[in-house]
Structure 1
Amino acid sequence: MSPYHFLLLIISITLSFIFIYAHNDGFSVELIHRDSPNSPLYNHNESDFQRSTNMLHRSINRFNSLALIPQPIITNSGGEYLMKYSIGSPPVEIMGLLDTGSDLIWLQCEPCISCYHQSSPIFDPIDSDTYEDIPCSSVQCREVLGKTNCSSSSCEYGITYTNNGFSKGNLAFDTLTLRTSGSSSIKFQKMFIGCGHNNKGPLSPGFSGVIGMGFGLTSLVSQISLSINYKFSYCLTQTQTTSKLNFGANAIVSGLGVVTTPLAFGLAPTFYYVSLEGVTIGSRRIEYFITKKENSTTIKGNLNGNLKGNMIIDSGTALTFISKRIFDEIQSTIRLLLKLNTVRDPLNLGRLCYNNPSLVLQRTPYVTLHFAGRADVELHQSNIFFPMSPRTLCLAFAPTVSDTGILGNIAQTNFVVGFDRKKRTVSFKRADCTKY
């Protein structure tokens, strides 16, 4: 048993176990893109161009927090998909921002010292029969958060965001309910949550808080890992159609066309790292190397547990960020193959942009990402170019000088992406996520 699974077992026992009114057959829930008309963040006054521009600006900010500043006290600045869930007994439905780059489920709570506007009523713990504050002196506070002292009797948390937002409050247990895509409900008792009494922007108004999906012990998938056999997957869309988040047996990715790569290790234990070995455009393969700054030698990872990661899989970042050397070679190869006149990049990232979308999509070459373990993920045209306006398409990749890149959600659109946290693998399978 790995140290991670051993610690998870200890914490699960310490938390008096998570009692589950559920089954092991698997279940799925719906995700809403934040720019969908069904989202509380949807702005009717914005054009599609403004929404695209805002999404990609958020993508740049998020990359800066995930890949460039992987410090545990600084978390990312948001995400792109929302999920409804209920908290408390009787259950109160709220909407949280799904985040594969953080480790805590937190929500705004009464009494509010400072709270931003949200579309649903703010949760009041007094009204929940199953709410229970976690004392500062408890084993849970010490072992889960490493707390050795508190300014009050409650176990307190504080999350600082790279965009100057924050959430502060106390940690507690309560019942969390998920409504499945089949309209049934699954309850998880004694879930570890953060009750935020002091929350400040620029967190986007509308949603209640964040649903952490990372590798840390307090994330949603970590807390329910025993009931879902350590598996979850998603199938994302960039349209008004809802996306799917799957757990347990529903999360298994199987059948023709599935490729699987090991999850790797990186600087921040929260994130889902993989090792990208190369990129092929048309018939040209470009090798991707991970270098170690201390001695400028290539790190030779292997598939037996010590593979070094150079890319984070993240559902909350739109663009795919990749080493500038690789990015430049990708761009020059695509430019050569398309043989079309380019236009200025609206975001000034130096990306290829064109004003004749139909011709671009006809000529777009095959692009394949080669991950460790011979996992070759062939991208569709919609994973490679993204519409900035009805007339303008731009490359959905961006350059970075960091050793660590991000596989963004545009590149993941219309793939089932499945995580097996016990086997430490991630699988990809092409799918129509509007019908999944």
Structure 2
Amino acid sequence: MTTLHLFLILLLASGVAQSRKTVKVSPLLFSGEDTQEEEEDCSAAQPRKSSTSIPLMHVQAKCSPFRNKKSTWLTTLLESIKGDEQRYRAITGAATSFTTQEDADVPLTVKNGDYVINLGFGSPQQNLYTLVDTGSDITWIPCDSGDVFDPSKSSTFKYLSCSSETCQALGSTQTCGNYNCSITQTYGDGSQVTQLLSTDSLAVGSQSMPEFVFGCAKSRRGLITSAPGLVGFGRESISFVSQTANLFQKTFSYCIPSSTSTGCLALGKSALSSSGLQFTSLLTNSANPSFYYVGLNGVSVGKDRVAVAAMEQSSGKGTIIDSGTTITRLAEPVYSSVRDSFVRHLSKLSRAASVSIFDACFNFPSGDVEVPQITLHFDKNVDVPLPPTNYLIRTSAQGSVICLALAAPPKSSSGSGVSILGNFQQRNFRVVYDTAGSRLGIAPETCKGC
């Protein structure tokens, strides 16, 4: 059975599920993920100079220069999940308050995000892969050694001085060394990166932007030395979205593939015409205006609907939608209610031991299994039924152990009242961030390159 056939079956099952609240799934839905990775045509992942649609791929995809070739899709996914706890603490710590120095020092880039794009910096253009992060603002690229950006080869490169308006706007974040604006970030694991705030030409497909502001990383120590650069898609004035507002009208979208194949990042208003889009409101939070918040007011498990409104009001923030978090975290008591309902629906299956952050795991038989449909309910009456592969995860190589791919916030986290929608649940959807219009669009889409 081909991957296309499997996906068509999945879409059909999802359509039926809206009326009867259940979906039939088989381990076959998960068994093709590693073989799909090997079939990927890397030409689809190459930069396209004539378009503002940019190939998007997992940092461990077959075509990624950062890939660990000994990894499978399963091991890659489980490894990515390990960093989610640190990222959750970093995001919610920034959104509320830090409880320990360790929490305060953990940046979003330790859990570097999961997906990379290729951008061109300088004159002449030097192409670099950068992580896409909707949870941060400052773009930074490595300029220290090896296969990195070389400022001396660009005729348009400039360092920003301490007296520059952009540097002054960073406040206590910046320091001055040799009159250049310097930013040093220290991480909880001991890693450290020092960047000099700079400007240069940025090429995005067929578009070019002069004097784009970014951090030129001159010193990296610890685990961060192996990380690619990062492009900040947050909402603050220094972010990629804000700096390119004249080109792309503060609008972007992405389609994340279901495995390590190639998806697509699209820039500009053209994304608003995607077929089947439903729009919910984008919310803001004065405590942390950089993040994208949505009103998630319910989660249905089959016919059981778990209300989220009480949790939303108590946190006062809404739910963060994030490109760099892998697995969705639902604040308590919402997660426990969703999990318990799911377990009740699968009472005929034998339970398997918990795996990683997943505490609702089952031994799946070789044949079809009927599972409850999980639907996310957002403001503006936007209901999003998830395909089974967006809320079930294979945790054994044979596909015989399947877990509910949702989790509670990390224990003893200061921000445990905040829910975050991760990229695993966003796979095979077109997600449109219309920042200028304060709305988020969602539509099912087969994510197969640009």
The TM-score normalised by the length of structure 2 is 0.79
Tell me if the contact between 1:317 and 1:409 (Cα under 8 Å) persists in the aligned partners.
yes
Output the CA distance in 1 between the equivalents of 2:151 and 2:365.
52
> Partner amino acid for 1:336?
R
Look up the match of 2:13.
none
User: What is residue 28 of structure 1 aligned with on the other side?
Assistant: 53
Q: Which residue of structure 1 lines up, in the alignment, with residue 377 of structure 2? A: 370
Q: Report the Cα distance in structure 2 between the residues aligned to 1:107 and 1:204, rounded to whole angstroms.
A: 11
How far does residue 336 in structure 1 lie from its aligned partner after superposition? 1.4
Which of 436, 443, 449 in structure 2 is aligned with 1:422? 436
For 1:42, what is the secondary structure of its paired residue?
coil
1:41: Cα distance to partner?
A: 2.3
Match 2:201 to one of 150, 170, 175: 175
Secondary structure of 1:320's aligned partner: coil
- Tell me if the contact between 1:263 and 1:426 (Cα under 8 Å) persists in the aligned partners: no
Equivalent position of 2:405 in the other structure: 396
Aligned-pair CA distance for 1:279: 0.9
SS of match in other structure, 1:321: coil
Is the CA contact (8 Å cut-off) linking 1:261 and 1:374 kept in structure 2?
no
The answer for the alignment partner of 1:344 in structure 2 is 353
Is 1:311 the equivalent of 2:319? yes
User: Any stretches of 5+ residues in structure 1 without a counterpart?
Assistant: 1-24, 180-184, 293-297, 301-307
Alpha-carbon distance in 2 for matches of 1:424, 1:378: 23
1:222 aligns with: 242
Tell me how large the CA RMSD over aligned residues is.
2.5
Matched AA of 2:85: I
Give the letter for the 1:140 counterpart: T
* 2:107 alignment counterpart: 75
Change (3 A) 1:26 1:43: closer
Distance in 2 of aligned mates of 1:329 and 1:340: 19
Could you tell me how far 1:237 is from its partner in structure 2?
Answer: 0.9
* 1:275 to partner: Cα distance: 2.0
In the alignment, which of 351, 361, 372 is matched to residue 353 of structure 1? 361
Cα displacement (A) at 1:268: 1.9
Question: Which residue number corresponds to residue 4 of structure 1?
Answer: none
Q: Which moved more, 1:63-72 or 1:121-130?
A: 63-72
Question: Of 409, 418, 432, which aligns to 2:423?
Answer: 409
Given that 1:278 and 1:287 are in contact with CA atoms closer than 8 Å, whether structure 2 keeps it comes out as yes
Q: Which residue of 2 aligns with 1:385?
A: 392
Tell me which residue corresponds to 2:339: 331
Secondary structure at 1:364 match in 2: strand
Which residue is 1:246 aligned to?
Answer: 266
Q: CA deviation at 1:53?
A: 1.9
Residues 100-126 of structure 1: CA deviation (Å, up to 9, x unaligned): 1111111111xx3xx6xx6xx222211
1:161-200 to structure 2, matched below 5 A, reads 161-179=187-205, 185-200=206-221
User: What is the aligned partner in structure 2 of residue 94 from structure 1?
Assistant: 128
- Give the CA deviation at 1:212: 1.0
Secondary structure at 1:140 match in 2: helix
Q: 1:136 to 1:221 in 2, by over 3 A?
A: same
TM superposition shift of 1:154: 0.7
1:47/1:247 Cα in 2 relative to 1: closer, same or farther (>3 Å)?
closer
From the two aligned structures, give the one with the greater helix fraction: 2
Alpha-carbon distance, 1:73 to partner? 7.2
Instruction: Give the Cα separation in 1 of the matches to 2:367 and 2:185.
Output: 46
Alpha-carbon offset, residue 248 of structure 1: 0.7
CA apart distance, 1:335: 1.4
Note if contact 1:259-1:375 (Cα within 8 Å) is conserved in structure 2: yes
Quickly say closer, same or farther: Cα 1:309–1:153, change in 2 above 3 A.
Answer: same
- Which residue of 56, 63, 66 corresponds with 2:91? 66
Contact 1:28–1:250, Cα closer than 8 Å, also in 2: no
Q: Does 1:258 align with 2:290?
A: no
Give 2:222's aligned amino acid. Answer: G
Using the TM superposition, give the Cα deviation of residue 229 of structure 1 relative to its aligned residue in structure 2, in angstroms.
1.5
SS at match of 1:84: strand
Match of 1:272 in 2: 292
Cα offsets for 1:303-346 (capped at 9, x unmatched): xxxxx433211111111001131111111111111231110122
State the alpha-carbon separation in 2 of the partners of residues 253 and 403 from structure 1. 35
Instruction: For residues 252-303 of structure 1, give each alpha carbon's deviation from its aligned partner in whole angstroms, at most 9, with x where no partner exists.
Output: 15443524233242632221111211111111111113559xxxxx469xxx
1:105 aligns with 2:139: yes
Aligned: 1:431 with 2:431: no
Give the match for residue 41 of structure 2.
none
Q: Which amino acid aligns with 2:328?
A: T
Q: What TM-score, normalized to structure 1?
A: 0.81
Work out whether residues 56 and 449 of structure 2, in 8 Å CA contact, stay in contact via their aligned partners in 1: no
Letter in 2 for 1:58: G
| Preserved contact between residue 61 and residue 67 of structure 2 (Cα < 8 Å) | yes
Worse overlay, 143-152 or 207-216: 143-152
One-letter amino acid matched to 2:323: S
C-alpha separation in 1, matches of 2:326 and 2:370: 23
Summarize the Cα distance change of 1:69–1:262 in structure 2 as closer, same or farther, 3 Å threshold.
Answer: closer
Contact 1:259 1:377 in 2 (8 A): no
